[in-house]
Structure 1
Amino acid sequence: MTVRLVKGSDYYVISPLINDWWNGRQMSDLLPKLFFDHFKNTSFIVEEEGEIIGFLIGFLSQSYSNEAYIHFVGIHPEYRGKGIGRQLYNQFFDVIKQSGRNIVRCVTSPVNKASIAYHTKMGFEIEQWNKDNQDKVLFVKYLN
């Protein structure tokens, strides 16, 4: 397994896979190509034998100088539970700490119970659970 920075062409490989990786949920519209073009230094791909098996798309906040945001993370269903997500998150944490950031934010849907459990296991706190308006679970993690 190798971890590398994303490149623009990765979009064309990942985009057709996203809905399948999310069991048919329509998720691909949430990850336009601009993320692959403009956040290359803070977004990562995991490959095994040349196949993309995981990715993390994140960026440094332009508005809050001590914050970063994880926009999208995906792990091929056959590779879940093998530490790939943790590896991607830790890679992101290392990069943002080098940029002087110590707060990480992300969001998930309440229907994604696995994501909620995963983020709390990774040390994220639920900052807000907005049940009334387009259900969202907002997470925050403070890095040491």
Structure 2
Amino acid sequence: MTGPTGKPTVRAARPNDFEPIIAVVDDWWGRPVSVNVSRLFLDHFHDTSLVAETDDGRIVGFVIGFLSPADPDCAYIHFTGVAPEARRTGLARDLYDRFFTVARAAGRTKAKAVTSPLNTRSIAFHEAVGFTVSDPVPDYDGPGLDRVVFRRDL
């Protein structure tokens, strides 16, 4: 659904968004990444995740995020995707801003995320929306799986 400006409508995610998301995310990223979007995230964290869709119900963006159960100050963004045709429109920034609003309303004071040091587009985006970026952390996600850590005060 699109709003009055013709932009996609953003709504809370639902568990049944899992199938449409994994159906497109590998194409959006240009490589296999759907393995990182486990069903459990939309089953258990759909209320803090967001989906952007067109007027015909096609998903063009999403943020899968949750409130950390281990760190009561932290909201965590697990995975984000935006359809290639919707990039550079402000949609990703809007999704993040809406997630930050959800996190603040729940009393969270910081947001975190991680990515591969090779994902330069993600690093540039996160810097542009106010995250600090760590140096690569060797073996963060296991042997040979280095990551950079993003952190932003809310």
- TM-score of the aligned structures, taking structure 2 as reference length: 0.89
Counterparts of 1:136 and 1:40, CA distance in 2: 25
> 1:123–1:141: 8 Å Cα contact kept in structure 2?
yes
Structure 2 unaligned blocks of 5 or more? 1-7
Distance 1:41 1:91 in 2: 12
User: Unmatched 5+ residue regions in structure 1?
Assistant: none
- Structure 1 position 30 matched with structure 2 position 41: no
In structure 2, C-alpha distance between the alignment counterparts of 1:13 and 1:41, rounded to whole Å:
17
Q: Which of the pair is proportionally richer in strand?
A: 1
* Residue pairs, 1:114-133, within 5 angstroms: 114-131=121-138, 133=144
Aligned to 2:149: 138
Q: Give the corresponding residue for 1:85.
A: 92
Identify the residue that residue 105 of structure 2 maps to in structure 1: 98
User: How many Å apart are 1:128 and its aligned residue?
Assistant: 4.0
For 2:134, what is the secondary structure of its paired residue?
strand
**CA deviation profile, 1:9-60 (whole Å, cap 9, x unmatched):** 110111121111111x221000111111100111000011221000000000
Contact in 1 for aligned 2:51/2:59 (Cα 8 Å) = yes
Paired position in structure 2 for 1:61: 68
Do structure 1's residue 46 and structure 2's residue 52 form an aligned pair?
yes
Q: How many residues are treated as equivalent by the alignment?
A: 142
CA RMSD of aligned residues (A): 1.1
Q: Which amino acid aligns with 1:139?
A: F
- Any conservation in 2 of the 1:128–1:139 contact (CA below 8 Å)? no
State the AA in 2 paired with 1:46: A
Is this contact kept in 1: 2:75–2:110, CA < 8 A? Answer: yes
Moved more, 108-117 or 51-60: 108-117
* Amino acid paired to 1:137: V
Structure 1 residue 127: Cα displacement: 3.0
